[in-house]
Structure 1
């Protein structure tokens, strides 16, 4: 059962969709439709509002990031276009033929050669995702080593509101668009998710684990929030996640 509900959080009007169902926990989400809160069937409106207010700052930050991301134009793939790769410029080159390849650029950076045949945007997405996954796996392995943990399964994500997620059953998922960021900011997300292997929550104990393996996490979290709206949008990839 869903119903619309309006609230004011820190002076800002917020429209929500409330969904009651046979669940046990509360969940607050943001997607292309806006803010949604899922609660158990018999939850009172007062309880719902207290839950939303307890996450008010997070909610306002996510809504702002989502609105800013929606204004970022879709990247037009063309010869000579640049986009960030691990925080450094990556130049795109288009050529006749059917093979995608990475190569060194004359300025010491990198170029990605994409075939004109077919859909260059789709070829770009595949190339970036193929580059991201092994790099992410290496960083997860490093942070698991720091905690003496066995490395879990690592897969790519295309979630709307999260840079990463961690499950005791399915392992760690990391958003492929993190590849645009500087390695240090990617490492913050990796450290965040690896810490969840010990604490599946955001309690003080969890943040203590994060601080142990990534001491500068507060600055990184702020930098990630600032960088998120500036990342390129490629084809149908969507605007990606909001910062953790």
Structure 2
């Protein structure tokens, strides 16, 4: 498709959805639309966001590719915005240990695949944290707490549905708690408004008044997250939805 005079290879996906979504990630550009959407409407949607699409494609092409993190003794990575130090030890299971300077250590069993052990430990820690924060924001909103689970989606930090509840990306665990809270508050707000209408954003503002700054900071932080070898496929995505 020609977009503002530039040829763009665009994958079209039809599904039982209600909204249009234009996405750019490591796999390229794609547009997702409801099943029976005429091609003319698809083209109008893409062209209406042409500048955004070309900007994201250029940024993707120019961005340095992060190398996967190699898990080794003493390697550091962020955990809730602070420093996590990895250790390899003779043990049967991974174990967390706090340090006097506020950092943490994750003791990984030496006899297992270190990347898989690291991801497993991070996912377990993330799920416990997310559930606690979802409970807090549901309490503030006065709604029942839905099931909370983890996501590895390539283009979304979180999602919410009446069937599956709230799903949050496990890689949020690397960010500062305040940014994680924004994503949690955003998804909890969908329990009141399953859309992105002005009413929805009013609920978000009630739960998280500084959401605009957090949203901008989240976009910047996304490019700085460590890439773990077994999770390389879900790195660095850009999404726009209407």
TM-score interval, smaller chain: 0.7 to 0.9
Measured at CA, do residues 116 and 134 of structure 1 come closer, stay the same or move farther in structure 2, by a change above 3 Å?
same
**What is the deviation of 1:187?**
0.3
Measured at CA, do residues 156 and 19 of structure 1 come closer, stay the same or move farther in structure 2, by a change above 3 Å?
closer
* Alignment match, 1:134: 128
Q: TM-score, normalised by structure 1?
A: 0.86
* Alignment match, 1:156: 150
**What is the deviation of 1:62?**
5.7
Deviations 1:184-217 (A, max 9, x none): 0000000110111111111111111111110100
Which one of the candidate residues 82, 89, 108 is aligned to 1:95?
A: 89
In the alignment, structure 1 segments of 5+ residues that lack a partner are none
> Where do residues 18-167 of structure 1 align in structure 2 (5 Å cutoff)?
18-19=12-13, 26-39=20-33, 40-41=35-36, 43-45=38-40, 47-55=41-49, 59=53, 63=57, 71-167=65-161
SS of structure 2 residue aligned to 1:197? coil
Deviations 1:36-77 (A, max 9, x none): 1234446133x2232224455765676567657771110010
In the alignment, structure 2 segments of 5+ residues that lack a partner are none
> Once structures 1 and 2 are overlaid, which stretch shifts more, 177-186 or 108-117?
108-117
* Alignment match, 2:3: 7
Alignment: residue pair count? 237
For CA contacts below 8 A with separation 6 or more, give which structure has more relative contact order: 2
**What is the deviation of 1:101?**
0.7
SS of structure 2 residue aligned to 1:79? coil
Preserved contact between residue 132 and residue 179 of structure 1 (Cα < 8 Å):
yes
Q: TM-score, normalised by structure 2?
A: 0.87
Q: Distance in 2 between matches of 1:67 and 1:142?
A: 40
What is the RMSD computed on CA atoms of the aligned residues?
2.7
SS of structure 1 residue aligned to 2:9? strand
Q: Distance in 1 between matches of 2:22 and 2:120?
A: 31
Q: Distance in 1 between matches of 2:117 and 2:15?
A: 41
Measured at CA, do residues 177 and 212 of structure 1 come closer, stay the same or move farther in structure 2, by a change above 3 Å?
same
**What is the deviation of 1:107?**
2.5
**What is the deviation of 1:157?**
0.3
**What is the deviation of 1:156?**
0.3
Deviations 1:129-187 (A, max 9, x none): 11010110010111111110000000000000000000011100000000000000000
Q: Distance in 2 between matches of 1:111 and 1:16?
A: 44
Deviations 1:87-128 (A, max 9, x none): 000001112333211112242321001111120111000000
Q: Distance in 2 between matches of 1:12 and 1:144?
A: 46
